[in-house]
Amino acid sequence: MLLGVPMNNIPVRIRVRYSKVGNLRFIGHLDTQRLFERALRRSGLPLRYTQGFKKHIRLNLASALPLGFISTAELLDFWLGEPIEEQEIWQRLQSALPLEIRINDLKQVENVLPSLQASLLSSEYKITLPKLVTSEQFQQKLEQLLAQPGIPISRRDKTIDYKPLILGYSISTEESVVNLRLSSTPTGNARPDDLLQLLGIDPANCMIERVGLNF
Amino acid sequence: MPNNNISLIEKILYSVEKPGRYVGGEHNQIVKDWEAVDVRWCLVFPDVYDIGQANLGLAILYQILNAEETILAERSFAPWVDMEVEMRRHQIPLFSLESKQNLKDFDILGITLPYESIYTNVLNILDLAGIPQLSSERTQGDPLILGGGQACYNPEPMADFFDAFAIGEGEEVSLEITHAYRDWKISGKSRNELLLDLAQIPGVYVPSIYDVTYNPDGTIAGVLPNQPDVPEKISKRIVASLPTHPSKFLVPNVEIVHDRMSVEIMRGCTRGCRFCHAGMVNRPVRQRSVEEILPVIENGLNATGFEEVSLLSLSSSDHTEILELTQKVHEIFHDRNLSFSLPSLRIESFSIDLMDELKELKPGGGFTLAPEAATERMRAVINKPLNDEDFYQTVSKIFENGWRSLKLYYMIGLPTETMEDVDAILQAGIKVQQIGRRIIGKSVKVHLGIASLIPKPHTPFQWLAVQRPETIQEKLDNLKAGTRKAGIKMSYNIPESTLLESWLSRGDRRLGAVIKRAWENGAKFDAWGERDNLQIWRNAFESQNLDPDYYAFRERSLNEVLPWDHIDIGVRKSFLKRDYEWSLQERTREDCRNTCFACGILDAFVDQRPPETICYWGCP
């Protein structure tokens, strides 16, 4: 006879939207994941773990944020073993996190939803250009680039065409600020720093901020 | 103090590997108001962050110093090669992780010397900080350069570069030094007077007020103070009872080695293995009680979120309450998805009982034992006595209890060693493999870890010559051929890679000039195999008319003044001498918590011994 899973053992899926700023922009994806695992342990919340010999906290980050970028729009799912008031989860997790990670939103979501990575389509970036580059110059360069039949970028051993991955751009009313929308799917993931490099702008001289994830 | 570093540092971080090493900001980091304290320490670990951050000594001093309202302590590490290039290009001086202040602006740089291969990194760090490397060249406004750590029991090779060394355990003396420094700072006296004040603190060695004289044959005639009223010998410091253990550990944001919480359950070891530096210099044995350890683990886990805990000591099985400790750990923590490790277990079936307690809490699938030598005779020489029968019984029990992988550590290059002793290592590996196969019913993993002996100061082997790389290579080749045939995994160091440690660990003050020259010619990160610095070092020796072989391959006479004789570890030289003679007679000493062999440690510290209710000491 199959034993039913007791009602109180249904995992509770929590979705967090957070900012990652300051020095923490120099902490990579896997390190960020470990940072959350340890913060979650410190929070004392009743966490769900993965199965297997070495058990990990069940945790799912939407998309790797490249080293050096800040963000106000990161998303993360984790699972609890029992329901707890959202406000309490928010407060307990925030107080266990470093100051440079701030929770912007936290809510329980349906377990049946697909994973964050699987449903992510694109990312919005806000780029503050170096002092000597105006938004208009950026626009001009980008349009020249887009006029070409393809925009090949070599990454490791393969070449990808960036042209279909650049989904949109706009010039902000703020001085020297431009917005980019780039594809972020498992099969087509574009990085704004690659694109800046191609335009002859040193990404190290720009402030790159992820401001939105589109599903 | 305004800090102009930050924006420039942030800019160069975009072009280096693992920038998270340089930003600090870890959970539990302590940042104090720079202007609101009297004395500012920077604790420096002269290796990369990834290696240094896990150091327990660093965590202990960070806690102790920052606990004082009027002291701040920040951290700094050696920048990796790529970061150094960027820092030099942009003229960014070496900075602390917490407030990004220049190292030059601190009052005291506490630099730890845990091993010899980072000596050149110390010079590099001073240079990157814009601080004169030689103590004699530093002036009033420069920070006090203070050394500490396990390699400082022979401070002489680094004597030119340090203003003072804290010999022994730093918990109490670091505060005494701070207070003396504060008084001096207020007094407005000269830097030399500071050094004289410091030399009055027990355990503090100020090398510039001791002169070394040499015999015509190059050996040392004596090391004597050149000032009145300073002690001829510097006695190491100990803490009578182990102080409150830190629990608010920094939680690194980037992956480091030993990325877990370490809890020191015991300090020192009573076994007296003759090759073991730690076993001689860290006497007497002192341990923490189970009641003290459990809350440290609990509070530490709550404060850090670590998923792994290591219960540290030199010989876990010798903690008098170890079974109770492992049982309690199991009882309290078994359902929290944690793992615990218990290193340095003795070869006896009791160790397996201990590991069984932690079984569902342990990180990997393997068991590790360190017989160190494979014949009973050889084990008598090194004073790690063990019957073959007991060894194989322990091995059987390990496999019977379900482990399928066993790592065995051995040493070669031991005194009186023959090729038969070396072959016995292979034979032991093969027999273990057979035992495993018989018990498990299929093949098991056997892994031999082979190290070669580097005789260390303050041990009974301190007089020995190091065996030449050719001899070691021959022994390794023998083992390699045999293990390959038997399907046994073997790991070892290339013999040349241990030469530097052989030269420096028993070096004298003349090596200061060699170290400086090696650094000038590009030596740094000497422990990292990919940077082959050996030729630089040989040239540096030559430039000073010194022969590296003199330091490595020369057997010292028992009557010789050794470069570290003025550093008193509490264990008498006459004891070490006798123990060396016993070694050659294959005569062993049992665990000295049962029988006192009068090594001297108890005489040295008997006044400090607390009642057992406060802290258990291993001495009878």
Can you list the domains of chain B with their CATH numbers?
A: 5-235 (3.40.50), 261-607 (3.80.30.20)
Closest-CA distance, B97 to chain A, in angstroms, reads 11
How would residue A4 be classed by pLDDT, with cut points 50, 70 and 90? Answer: very low
pLDDT value at residue B172: 98
Residues of A in contact with B13 (CB under 8 A): 26, 68
Closest CA to B159 of B119, B107, B193, B190: B119
- Do the Cβ atoms of B254 and A27 come within 8 Å? yes
Q: How far is CA A213 from CA A35, A72, B5, B238, B346, in A?
A: 21, 10, 34, 57, 55
Closest-CA distance, A149 to chain B, in angstroms, reads 32
> pLDDT averaged over chain B?
95
Cis ω on the peptide bond leading into residue B284 (within 30° of 0)? yes
Q: Flag whether the pTM goes above 0.90.
A: yes
SS (H, E, C) A57-111: ECEEECCCCCCCCEEEEEEEEEEECCCCCHHHHHHHHHHHCCCCEEEEEEEEECC
- Give the distance, in angstroms, between the CA of residue B94 and the centroid of all CA atoms in the same chain: 24
Closest CA to B549 of B502, B513, B516, B517: B502
CB A118 within 8 A of CB A75: no
Closest-CA distance, B44 to chain A, in angstroms, reads 21
How would residue B363 be classed by pLDDT, with cut points 50, 70 and 90? Answer: low
Residues of B in contact with A196 (CB under 8 A): none
pLDDT value at residue A81: 94
CB B512 within 8 A of CB B160: yes
Closest-CA distance, B237 to chain A, in angstroms, reads 36
Closest CA to B412 of B472, B477, B486, B488: B472
Give the nearest partner residue to B255 out of A31, A67, A203, using CB atoms: A31
Range among A22-26, A150-154, B341-345 rated most confident = A22-26
- Do the Cβ atoms of B20 and A28 come within 8 Å? yes
In chain B, % of residues over pLDDT 90: 90
CB B363 within 8 A of CB B569: no
Residues of A in contact with B303 (CB under 8 A): 42
pLDDT value at residue A3: 44
Amino acid letter at B327? Q
B90-113 pLDDT, tens digit each = 999 999 999 999 999 999 999 999
> Architecture of domain A120-214 in CATH?
2-Layer Sandwich (3.30)
Whether residue A183 has pLDDT greater than 80: yes
CB A13 within 8 A of CB B234: no
CB A20 within 8 A of CB A76: no
B250-303 pLDDT, tens digit each = 999 999 999 999 999 999 999 999 999 999 999 999 999 999 999 999 999 999
Q: What does the longest C-alpha to C-alpha distance in chain B come to? A: 76
Whether residue B576 has pLDDT greater than 50: yes
Q: Which residue has the tokens 């083992």?
A: B479
- Do the Cβ atoms of A31 and B305 come within 8 Å? no
Give the nearest partner residue to B337 out of A35, A44, A55, using CB atoms: A55
- Do the Cβ atoms of B27 and A38 come within 8 Å? yes
Cβ neighbors of B63 (< 8 A, separation 6 or more) are B246, B248
- Do the Cβ atoms of A23 and B27 come within 8 Å? no
Residues of A in contact with B306 (CB under 8 A): 38, 41
Cβ neighbors of B491 (< 8 A, separation 6 or more) are B447, B448, B449, B450
Whether residue A54 has pLDDT greater than 80: no
pLDDT value at residue B531: 57
Give the nearest partner residue to A26 out of B23, B302, B306, using CB atoms: B23
Q: State the Cα torsion B155-B158-B162-B166 to the nearest 10°.
A: -20
Lowest mean pLDDT segment, chosen from A132-146, B65-79, B139-153, B200-214: A132-146
- Do the Cβ atoms of A98 and B13 come within 8 Å? no
pLDDT value at residue B356: 83
- Give the distance, in angstroms, between the CA of residue B483 and the centroid of all CA atoms in the same chain: 31
- Do the Cβ atoms of A38 and B25 come within 8 Å? no
Residues of B in contact with A41 (CB under 8 A): 301, 305-307
- Do the Cβ atoms of B253 and A31 come within 8 Å? yes
CB B107 within 8 A of CB B140: no
Closest-CA distance, B370 to chain A, in angstroms, reads 26
Assembly ipTM:
0.92
State the Cα–Cα distance between residues B516 and B510, nearest whole angstrom. 11
Whether residue B2 has pLDDT greater than 70: no
B13 three-class SS: helix
A61-114 pLDDT, tens digit each = 999 999 999 999 999 999 999 999 999 999 999 999 999 999 999 999 999 999
B212 three-class SS: strand
pLDDT value at residue A2: 42
Cβ neighbors of B154 (< 8 A, separation 6 or more) are B457, B458, B505, B506, B507, B563, B564, B567
State the Cα–Cα distance between residues B84 and B92, nearest whole angstrom. 9
Give me the CATH topology for the region A7-116: Alpha-Beta Plaits (3.30.70)
R_g of chain B computed on alpha carbons:
24
Would you call A49 an interface residue with chain B, using a CB distance cutoff of 8 Å?
yes
Q: Which residue has the tokens 């993993």?
A: B445
- Do the Cβ atoms of A35 and B253 come within 8 Å? yes
B478-493 pLDDT, tens digit each = 999 999 999 999 999 9
CB atoms within 10 A of CB B372: 24
Closest-CA distance, B327 to chain A, in angstroms, reads 21
Q: Tell me the residue ranges of DSSP E strands in B251-316.
A: 261-264, 266-267, 286-287, 308-312
- Do the Cβ atoms of A34 and B255 come within 8 Å? yes
B418 three-class SS: coil
**Binding-site residues on chain B for chain A (CB distance < 8 A):** 11, 13-15, 19-20, 22-27, 251, 253-255, 301-307, 337, 339, 363
CB B545 within 8 A of CB B194: no
Residues 152-211 of A with CB under 8 A from B: 203-204
State the Cα–Cα distance between residues B260 and B422, nearest whole angstrom. 36
State the Cα–Cα distance between residues B77 and B60, nearest whole angstrom. 17
How would residue A1 be classed by pLDDT, with cut points 50, 70 and 90? Answer: very low
> What is the end-to-end Cα distance of chain B in Å, rounded?
54
| Per-domain residue ranges of chain A | 7-116, 120-214
pLDDT value at residue B266: 97
State the Cα–Cα distance between residues B5 and B23, nearest whole angstrom. 12
Q: What are phi and psi of A203, to 5 degrees?
A: -60, -25
Residue B298 tokens read as 């609990």
For residue B8, give the H/E element and its range.
helix B5-12
pLDDT value at residue A157: 81
DSSP chain A: -PPPPPGGGS-EEEEEEEEE-GGGGGS-HHHHHHHHHHHHHHHT--B-B--SSS--B-EEESSPPPTT-EEEEEEEEEEESS---HHHHHHHHHHHS-TTEEEEEEEEE-TTSPPHHHH--EEEEEEE--TT--HHHHHHHHHHHHTSS--EEEETTEEEE-GGGEEEEEE-SSTTEEEEEEEBSSS-B--HHHHHHHTT--GGGSEEEEEEEE-
pLDDT value at residue B402: 87
Backbone dihedral region of A12: left (phi > 0), alpha (psi from -120 to 50 degrees) or beta? beta
Mean pLDDT calculated for residue range A122-135 = 93
| Residue pairs between chains A and B whose CB atoms are closer than 8 Å | 63
pLDDT value at residue B352: 85
- Do the Cβ atoms of B304 and A55 come within 8 Å? no
Mean pLDDT calculated for residue range B489-508 = 94
B518-555 pLDDT, tens digit each = 999 999 998 886 556 899 999 999 999 999 999 999 99
Residues of B in contact with A49 (CB under 8 A): 337
State the Cα–Cα distance between residues B490 and B483, nearest whole angstrom. 7
Cα B5–Cα B65–Cα B123 angle in degrees, nearest 5: 50
Q: Which residue has the higher pLDDT, A51 or B564?
A: B564
A6-33 pLDDT, tens digit each = 455 789 999 999 999 999 999 999 999 9
Lowest mean pLDDT segment, chosen from B39-48, B116-125, B342-351: B342-351
Give the nearest partner residue to B305 out of A24, A39, A49, using CB atoms: A39
Residues of B in contact with A204 (CB under 8 A): 11, 14-15
Give the nearest partner residue to A31 out of B11, B25, B254, using CB atoms: B254
Residues of B in contact with A45 (CB under 8 A): none
> pLDDT averaged over chain A?
92
Mean pLDDT calculated for residue range A53-58 = 83
Q: Where are the alpha helices (DSSP H) in B534-588?
A: 534-543, 548-552, 573-584
pLDDT value at residue A68: 93
| Exposed / middle / buried, residue A114 (Cβ in 10 Å: 0-12, 13-18, 19+) | exposed
CB atoms within 10 A of CB B252: 21
